[in-house]
A and B are shown apart, each in its own frame.
Chain A
């Protein structure tokens, strides 16, 4: 079995980080691992997939896995790629279907400008070369949810080519040991989505919903530069963040706005690549890495047992945790590609090539879009590290959860507390509560303003940090109260009366002569026990540093 040698990049670790890592609630902002780069420029050579294999148990063969991805991202647009129908998730079946979407004879495609701009934006963000001329093609196959019998796509000359996507993975035992890797992007093409088939096995019929038919997709083709499930999952996650930052796709996997197919093969390093399989419909963040790794294991297992890998299409059975051949994809498909005759070539311009007097409504200027690109996740993370002295992995964590960065920034704006403190509270306590209750950031009962006030109280030592945690719990439970209200109601403010505190310290020392002896004998840890006891006696209302000072003074006297 090959499992051991792949384990280093296996699922487990990122769940260890779960308290500050994005979890997956209905796939929302689903985490597929975060890692960061300690050093810039420490990236792997993209063209040579990292060899992930270690010695197998027998210590004879090494295996390397090669993974390429085809990612379909639904374009976030009001209307479909070639028709005026609205785009909405979960609308009543067949309520968003134009004559063109239903392929009524005589209807013609009309290209949606917004979709083209989204493709150009995405291409630019992924450092692609934007083709100033691209073409549309028809890809033919019969399927009930493909009304025209063909899909309009960009097979010959896509809108963007030759880009790259940088992502970071854990490289060692500590989560902070990360390296940046790069996967080449072969192309980005515009194409139509299909409708949905709902198979009713009971009545042996298929129901068709064409709401999705004709929605614009960006197909992003990632070269086989990845070598395991986690790399693939992390690359997909980074792409997801980029699409969301650009606003070109909501990229929500649970709503099918981001769908992944993986091409997987294994071989011995130095030898030609093995026969590849395609694992289709990896539409859940949770199973993406798992499916790829289980397929890699399966292939190695097959080969080590003298069997062959078939060039076939498989799907991941999440219940069994392994991939299975797809029955209806048997046999080779010939898509009979043909140029789409109803759409002229798609021409784009830059400022230099813009025809004089061109109607801005009729032309798309690549430079204009480039100048207006929003900040990308990598830049945002870099800024966080620079501005707040944050650890890189914390910057990843902040971006990994939808809305968390904004929450963090709003807290920072309103509090006097140190950014480090804020980071720690947001990533540990706040996110921990969210995870525990399976809530999204925007569903949190605690507002940024409340947390900011709480941290300010903490910062000016009005409350102890353990009291702060109590206040936070109370904030979470009872909406509408301010931290100050809670502090005064629960009498959680720090004891400002030093004499009273001295009396408590004295009493504690009296009651625990053994501990006092330990301190005096040089057991430096014992003082912590005393501090704890004093804290307990003050119901956490005293500042541990002040307690320590008093105790030290008394002990040394």
Chain B
């Protein structure tokens, strides 16, 4: 049952094959068994039980609230959850219990979803590995998959098995791992430069970043307000569309959401792609791109072409400036957004009480890690009067050019862009931490982050397993507010590639019964 998609389990609930409390128990037991993944910071066991029981009552009365009623979900720990600790994986917010729900959380709960817990991340979502949070790194479930283990046995390494676990990517690594390890059916991430799509690619799940303004940010603890979007992680594209249908729409509490009403929708099943035009941005052929990812990318392009779609090379000429531009804009907003954490109203406060200033300084030194402090420092530097024009204003102008690149491409008739999501498959933790957070973020965001600058919708779809037996994802980028079209194409693609299901039986042999792993589908993009 746990291996099913959200839609499938929703149908099972409706048919009475399983009850919400049974489903809750199964997920909870798996969360406990996979505790070592460190995917969850807080497991809201009691609240979730209550929600499951309420849901069960509704089902018994035949008053189900809809497709999400009784569905276990998880939420990244940078969304405010009323009565449930919300830490952003930072000492600064340890013990902080918000008095309100983020709009997206509220919408899920209003539909009867069961909140299993809050997932791990990089501190304040600043990172691309989910390794830099105060609660420790998240381990990629694929590290323990049959597929990966079998490949590793072939290569003599001599290292201890357990020291070689892989990162999930980030910063929504906890949410990606939670979905990948079957502990929930959908999870919320956040996406500022790729933080939903990157871990989705590394964990073999669908990671969707909606158009900026389509989904409310109210209650999402911000990283970069002008780029943050709540992200959706699911096992298939249809599930992402279902969750989007619940979340999308104007929120009076977020003035940057679109006014136009958004209706719930189901994705059509595309049979004919011959009228589509798929753009392949040539600038995304980065030298750091692994040959494997590159090869899957071109196979995917070929797949579209062979089915009759027009596949053309396009140019996004300002792509190479994206990373440095992002660095300036991101750190500037970070410096501003983090100013509120002063130990006065909430969160951590140091013991020093010599003066208010001394209290601020010590509180912030103790509360933030090096990455956050580093970004605050550079952001404040860029915002100084003497630097503002040279850095911030210039970066804004470059941002406009980057956004215009996309506009131009889409105006030329391209429906979606097809790109890699990440440079390679997931790397081992020990490998990952050889570079610092800044370098890593700069490298890992290169395919994902320009999208945030332009506010476009993008989705990472798992494509196939690498030689190592690890997932590889590809990204589709759509026109602004054409999220449905984007997901429709992604759904078609997903069906073609038949990405294999993660096999975790070995790891959790005692609970193998909970998995009803279907037969491996054919991997049409197998190398």
Contacts and interface: CB of A to CB of B under 8 A. Distances in A.
B235 interface: no
Give the interface centre of A105, A147, A148 by most chain B CB atoms within 10 Å: A105
A476 interface: no
Interface stretch (A336-344, A406-414, A501-509): A336-344
Given A107-B218, A109-B255, A334 B333 contact: no
A147 B340 CA distance: 6
Interface stretch (B107-115, B220-228, B459-467): B220-228
Contacts of B220: 106
A140 B336 contact: yes
A337 B383 contact: yes
Nearest to B335: A336
Contacts of B93: 105
Interface in B332-347: 332-333, 335-336, 338-342, 344-346
Contacts of A526: none
Contacts of A149: 336, 338-340, 342
Give the interface centre of A147, A208, A341 by most chain B CB atoms within 10 Å: A341
A336 B383 contact: yes
A283 to B, nearest CB: 23
Interface stretch (B95-103, B282-290, B296-304, B319-327): B95-103
B79 A106 contact: yes
Interface stretch (A96-104, A177-185, A319-327, A533-541): A96-104
B384 A336 contact: yes
Contact of A110 (B222, B255, B335): B255
A97 B346 CA distance: 14
Nearest to B79: A106
Interface string B379-406: 0100111001000100000000000000
Given A138-B336, A150-B336, A342-B225, A104 B345 contact: yes
A148 B225 contact: no
B366 interface: no
Contacts of A108: 217-218, 253-256
Contact of B360 (A142, A334, A341): A142
B471 interface: no
B306 interface: no
B252 interface: yes
B356 interface: yes
Contact of A341 (B79, B226, B345, B356): B226
Contacts of B336: 138, 140, 149-150, 336, 338
A102 to B, nearest CB: 5
Interface residues of B, number: 46
B339 A106 contact: no
Contact of B356 (A144, A150, A334, A362): A144
Given A147-B340, A336-B335, A106 B256 contact: no
B80 interface: yes
B221 A106 contact: yes
Interface string A341-367: 111100000000000000000100000
A343 B388 CA distance: 20
Contacts of B100: 99, 104
A169 B332 CA distance: 48
B380 A336 contact: yes
Given A104-B98, A148-B340, A149-B342, A334 B384 contact: yes
A349 to B, nearest CB: 16
Give the interface centre of B99, B226, B344 by most chain A CB atoms within 10 Å: B344
B340 A105 contact: yes
A356 to B, nearest CB: 16
Contact of B388 (A104, A111, A337, A342): A337
A338 B98 contact: no
A138 B338 CA distance: 13
A148 B356 CA distance: 15
Contacts of A337: 383, 388
Interface string A76-110: 00000000000000000000000100111111111
Contacts of B226: 341
Given A104-B346, A342-B225, A140 B383 contact: yes
A311 to B, nearest CB: 15
A206 interface: yes
Contacts of A342: 225, 254-256
B255 A105 contact: no
A142 B361 CA distance: 11
Contacts of A107: 218-219
A63 B102 CA distance: 61
Contact of B333 (A206, A341, A343): A341
B378 to A, nearest CB: 12
Contacts of B217: 106, 108
A342 B218 CA distance: 10
Nearest to B216: A108
A110 B252 contact: yes
B77 to A, nearest CB: 12
Contacts of B96: 105
A148 B341 CA distance: 8
Interface in A50-68: none
Contacts of A142: 339, 342, 357, 360
Q: Which 6 A-B residue pairings sit nearest by Cβ, starting from the closest?
A: A149-B339, A336-B383, A341-B225, A341-B226, A105-B221, A103-B340
Given A148-B339, A206-B356, A334-B384, 17 more contacts: A103-B340, A104-B100, A104-B345, A105-B98, A105-B340, A105-B341, A106-B80, A107-B218, A109-B255, A142-B339, A142-B360, A144-B342, A334-B385, A338-B383, A342-B254, A343-B256, A344-B256
Interface of A: 99, 102-111, 138, 140, 142, 144, 147-150, 206, 208, 334, 336-338, 341-344, 362
22 contacts: A102-B346, A104-B98, A105-B80, A105-B221, A106-B80, A106-B221, A108-B218, A108-B254, A110-B252, A140-B336, A140-B339, A142-B342, A142-B357, A144-B356, A147-B340, A147-B345, A336-B335, A336-B384, A338-B333, A341-B226, A342-B225, A342-B254
